[in-house]
Structure formats: structure tokens, C-alpha cells
Structure 1
Amino acid sequence: MAPRNTEWTCVPLSDAINFDRLDSHTYRVNLNENYCIGAVPNGGYVGSCMLAAASAYLCERDQPDALTAHFEYPARTSPGPAVIVIEDVKLGRSLLSTVHLTLWQGGLKPQAPWITPSVSHRVVLAYATYTNLRTFSGISMPTGYESSPAAALPEPLPDFGALKTSAGDNAWEEAKLLPGPASGLLNSLRNWHFYLPRGHPQTPGVLDMWVRAASGERITQAALPYVADSFPINLHAYLAAPELRELLLAPPSRKRGRRDASDGRGGEEEEDRDGEGQVEARQSLWFPTVVMNLEVKTALPEDGVEWLAVRVTSKQIRDGRFDLEVQVRDAEGEMVVLSHQIALIMSMERNTAKRASSTKASL
């Protein structure tokens, strides 16, 4: 079953994570289909929706900022309405509070209890610890990591003006989605401008990139889960071993026809490089997130930032599953958020397949 809509229009994240408060612990959101991969909303985007509701709930305690979050994705989400239920785990008087978040879909009601126990499904679960990062205080000291090469921003620093006006400079270029029917399945990727190193990765097995929002809005604290789970289409090629990367980025061969025998080569079949076919082959894959952990290191300015540097590594890709370690820093090199994820490699058909109907709740 194809997604309901493969047309993309730019919807600012601040609008796409809007919610309505239903009661003291319950919020309703509408998962936007322009934040989908295939028929499924991006997991980080869904996380941003959930943390936005939790932030509003804990603002009353002057604890608006997520310090840590752990997300589990037991089932596919769908674009459309969802209900977020917040359960108090431990509410601290000043420093830290921990809550459990559940995102429900299916069988939603317009009044309390807001869900239908025999029909509604728990599709995302999360634990989050909240604080006020702007008033958090205590001992600070530099670590050895901070002076290591791994902690440095990728060089050279980009010409940000050239990236915006010309989609690149001498060292960085924007990753583009090629036109074609398959690209309509990747709406979530269109919400970002990804700028990757020209040529080979600066470090084998590491994807360094700069990102900014396609909407032109500045990136705020609420966007961090979505930032940590957003990657260009050729992510897997950067993470692969150098010798395999060349094969992954090279378009597959196709037979173009027979040469004229008059060229002295006996009328052999020519090989061509099918760039569109290579892109469609990649777009036939889906990388669903199974688990995502976040640790926020610093508070972004209230009005957000335009640019973030993202570094992605993977220790192992095996048997259709892989790990991702994500570091997000600002343009000055300050660490903003760390993330560790477990994801699967599956056919896009699993993403867009019709969902089996069930009268049993997903508990």
C-alpha cells in the first residue's frame, strides 16, 4: 500500500510538533505526513513531538529541558492524530524529574479516557529526565577527549554563505535527492539541507556533515531528537569500509545495446552506468529505528541556531541491523547532544505494506 501522500510541502518543525492539551497528563498531536519516510513518520520527529509535550508539562516545575531520553519503537507510527500520555515517575522539587511517555494511535476518542483500550496501540514508549539546563550548576572540568582530534570540528570549516547560495563551497556540497517516483517516499529528508564533504569521507567509516532546516527556521532545543535521527540518503556508503564504499556509490551496470560491428569490436553489448537505478535501489531500503537514546549536553540559544555539525559512526552493520553513534555540535564546536541508536535494514515494502487490522490493544 502506497503512502497516502508523496507530495512534499515545507512545514516548519515548530508547526509540525504543535499539540493540544487534553487534560493534566494527556496531549494530542498530529503527526505530519511530510515528516515521513515512506508511510512512517521519522522516529526522531515523533520523539520531538513527545518531548515537546513533556516540556510543556514540566515547565510548570521550571524544568523545561530534556536532559536524557530513551525511546522504544515497538510498532510503526502513522501520519495523523496521536495521543501522548505522561506518567509521573519521580518529580523532583528543583533539579531533576523523570516521566514515562506513551504515544497512542488508533481508536482515539474525543473525550477522556481519550483512547479505546481494546483498539488503541502503544506505538512509541519513552522515559525522559527533565531539568532546567540554563540554571543547572556544579563542577565543570575539561576532559582529555576535548583536546583530542576526534573532538575537533571537521576541517575546513565551510563557507556558510556559499553553502546557502550555491549549495556548496570548495570542501562541502549539498546532498541532493534525484528526481523520480522513488524519491517521493523520502519526504522527511527534504526537511533538511545536508552538506557533505566533497569526494571521499574525511575519516573512513565516519559521516561528517553540516545541517540546516529547509524551512529556514532556526534549530531549537525541540528539534534535537529529529536532528539526531535525520541522515542523507547515502548514509550507509559513508559508514561502510572504504573498499565497499566505492561499490555502493558506483551506479550499477546495465546493458545499453549492441555496438556497431564496424568499430572493430564485433558488435558486443555496451555497459552503461545507471545512476537512476542506483538511487532507486537505495530508496528501496528502509532503516527503521528500534531504540534511540539521547543525552543533551548544552542548551541552545532561545532563538535557536542556523547550523549544526553532525558526526555519525557505526561499529558494525550485520544481519540487517546496525548501531549508530551521533554527535551534534554547534558552529563553535560546543557539544549539543549525543545519541546512540539501534536500527534495522529492511525493504521499503515493509514500511508501506497495509497494516493488519486487529481488535487487540498493543500493550
Structure 2
Amino acid sequence: MTKFDEATQAIRVDDTTYDVCLDPGYSVGGMLNGGYLMAVILRAVVDASPHAHPVSTTAQFHRSPTPGPARVQVETLKSGRTAAFSRATLIQNDTPYIETLITTATLPETSAAAYTSTPMALMPPLSECVRLPDPKPESGMTLNAQMEMHFDPPTVGWLQGTPTGVPEARAYFRLSEPQDPDPYILALAVDALPPVVFSAGTRGWAPTVDLTWHLRALPAPGWLTVLGSGRLITDGWFDEEVEVWDSQGKLVAQSRQLARVGRG
């Protein structure tokens, strides 16, 4: 079992209840990453489902859980031959923290698209991309150690005080520990980029309020390409859209989230 598999495992207690242990290694400024938390919930939901893959997930983040024991409560709403629908809640100390609606289905190992668009932006070669500096130990940024990301240089200009002025972020992504990407890693990937508002000139913690993502295909081994953009920043809110493409140039995940503009 890899570190990520262990950090996201859900242990069945009964037909509707799963014990989980939230890993402190997936924190951003002391707060657990939303993609990591979705992966934990999805482990439980898929185990309880007759289908193998989480094809659609909508999560509402009511509050931020802390590392340590928690549980996932799963309710099956409808189960059919091609899809099943579930409601799942992440609970800690008898308090609901994240509410989700999840559709599961079983996708083929390989498939040919009847139609596909092109990526929202083109990435330079991996050799021309840059890694972010390692965070200071006191920053609470433990997530960085769990993954390797190489960024399109203009989209991290905010680090040197030269943001592009456009909400955007683009990077190649994989886990630090060698592991082929799967749907749970994609749940992490869609929320792994720095908030796109950083590139628009805003810094600070930008908490996700609502995030929906779709698993479009099972990813091939190798690097993932994660492309993020925003459409509107207003009244303390911003949106973020993410596409994830696999090493074979296939669109494997899409997401949209609504978040608060960063503070700090």
C-alpha cells in the first residue's frame, strides 16, 4: 500500500459507516486540502457502491476538519445497472464537516472519444517548467511534500511579485511516491494548484466553499497536466475551473469550484 492509499483508506464499520484517519501530511497552511478530503470520502462511497468509479462528485465544505480520527457516513439514494447515487458526510467529533453527493459508475479501462476539445491552454515542455521553493517548516504546508509539480513559469510570477493579472495556474503533476494516477489521485489533482487568484494579484488563504468534479476517463500512467483558470473575481468570491489531461493527451477530469478570495 502506498502512502497516499494509506492516507485515504476507509475502513468499513457497517453498511453505512466507515472509519477514517485524516493525515496531517496533506495540509495547506494548517488546513487539510479539499481534494485530499474528497479522496477519503470517495474511498468509502466506492466501497459501498456496486460500481467501481466516482464519475461525479459535488462537495460542500462547511468547516475544516483537523488531522485525526473521523468517519464517513454513506447513504445510498438509488442504485442501478449503470450508475448509483449516494450522499456521504465526513463527520468528526459528531459534527458534519463536508457534505457530498456522488455518482458512481464503471468506466472501461480504455476508450476512444467520439469527440474531444483541445486543452484550455498549452503547456511548455516539462524541462522549461519550474518547481516552487520548499515551504518553511512553520508554514504548515505539508501537502507540497506529497506531490511533485512543475509550473508554467508565467503562472507563478506572483512569487516574485509579477503576477500576470489573469486568474490562471498550470502545472505538470504527479505524486512524490511513484504511483500510477487513479480516480482518487485525480480528486487530489483537481484541487492541487495554487488558487488562480494568486496570479490575478491576490494572496492568502482562499477556502473552497463548493467544488464539483467529474471523472471523464481512467488516466494512463505518467504525468498529469493540470490547467486552471477563473472567469470572475467579485465581492469576495472567485470561481476556478480545472482540466486534467493524462500523459496520452486524454481529458480525464474536469472541475469547477466556488471559493472565497484569499485573506492574509
Higher strand share: 2
Amino acid at match of 1:74: H
Structure 2 residue runs without a partner (length 5+): 158-163
2:155 and 2:26 map into 1 onto residues whose CA distance is: 29
**How many Å apart are 1:141 and its aligned residue?**
2.5
Amino acid at match of 2:119: A
**Is the CA contact 1:41–1:78 (under 8 Å) kept in the aligned structure 2?**
yes
1:307 and 1:51 map into 2 onto residues whose CA distance is: 22
**Is the CA contact 1:152–1:333 (under 8 Å) kept in the aligned structure 2?**
no
The aligned counterpart of 2:62 is: 74
2:254 is equivalent to residue 338 of structure 1: yes
The aligned counterpart of 1:41 is: 32
**How many Å apart are 1:320 and its aligned residue?**
2.5
1:297 and 1:327 map into 2 onto residues whose CA distance is: 10
The aligned counterpart of 2:44 is: 53
Q: 1:141 to 1:198 in 2, by over 3 A?
A: same
Q: 1:133 aligns with which of 107, 110, 114?
A: 107
Q: 1:236 aligns with which of 193, 197, 204?
A: 197
**How many Å apart are 1:180 and its aligned residue?**
6.0
1:330 and 1:53 map into 2 onto residues whose CA distance is: 25
- Which stretch shifts more, 333-342 or 199-208? 199-208
**How many Å apart are 1:177 and its aligned residue?**
2.9
TM-score (norm 1): 0.64
**How many Å apart are 1:295 and its aligned residue?**
0.9
1:136 and 1:333 map into 2 onto residues whose CA distance is: 13
**Is the CA contact 2:167–2:196 (under 8 Å) kept in the aligned structure 1?**
no
1:148-187 → structure 2 map (5 Å cutoff): 150-151=118-119, 154-158=122-126, 169=127, 171-179=128-136, 181=138, 183=139, 185-187=140-142
- Give the % identical residues: 23
Amino acid at match of 2:101: Y
1:276-295 → structure 2 map (5 Å cutoff): 282=203, 285-295=204-214
**How many Å apart are 1:73 and its aligned residue?**
0.9
The aligned counterpart of 2:180 is: 218
**Is the CA contact 1:300–1:336 (under 8 Å) kept in the aligned structure 2?**
yes
Amino acid at match of 1:142: Y
Amino acid at match of 1:208: R
**How many Å apart are 1:26 and its aligned residue?**
0.9
The aligned counterpart of 2:153 is: 198
Deviations 1:155-213 (A, max 9, x none): 4332xxxxxxxxxx2x21112234363x3x21123322221123468995432210111
1:230 and 1:200 map into 2 onto residues whose CA distance is: 14
Amino acid at match of 2:235: D
**Is the CA contact 2:25–2:142 (under 8 Å) kept in the aligned structure 1?**
yes
**Is the CA contact 2:173–2:226 (under 8 Å) kept in the aligned structure 1?**
yes
1:152 and 1:231 map into 2 onto residues whose CA distance is: 15
Larger radius of gyration: 1
1:36 and 1:42 map into 2 onto residues whose CA distance is: 6
TM-score (norm 2): 0.87
2:254 is equivalent to residue 315 of structure 1: no
1:248-267 → structure 2 map (5 Å cutoff): none
The aligned counterpart of 2:217 is: 298
SS in 1 for 2:130: strand
Structure 1 residue runs without a partner (length 5+): 1-10, 107-119, 159-168, 249-281, 349-363
2:96 is equivalent to residue 122 of structure 1: yes
1:140 and 1:298 map into 2 onto residues whose CA distance is: 10
Q: CA RMSD in A?
A: 2.6
**Is the CA contact 2:197–2:238 (under 8 Å) kept in the aligned structure 1?**
no
Aligned length: 256
1:102 and 1:179 map into 2 onto residues whose CA distance is: 33
**Is the CA contact 1:175–1:193 (under 8 Å) kept in the aligned structure 2?**
no
SS in 2 for 1:173: coil
The aligned counterpart of 1:30 is: 21
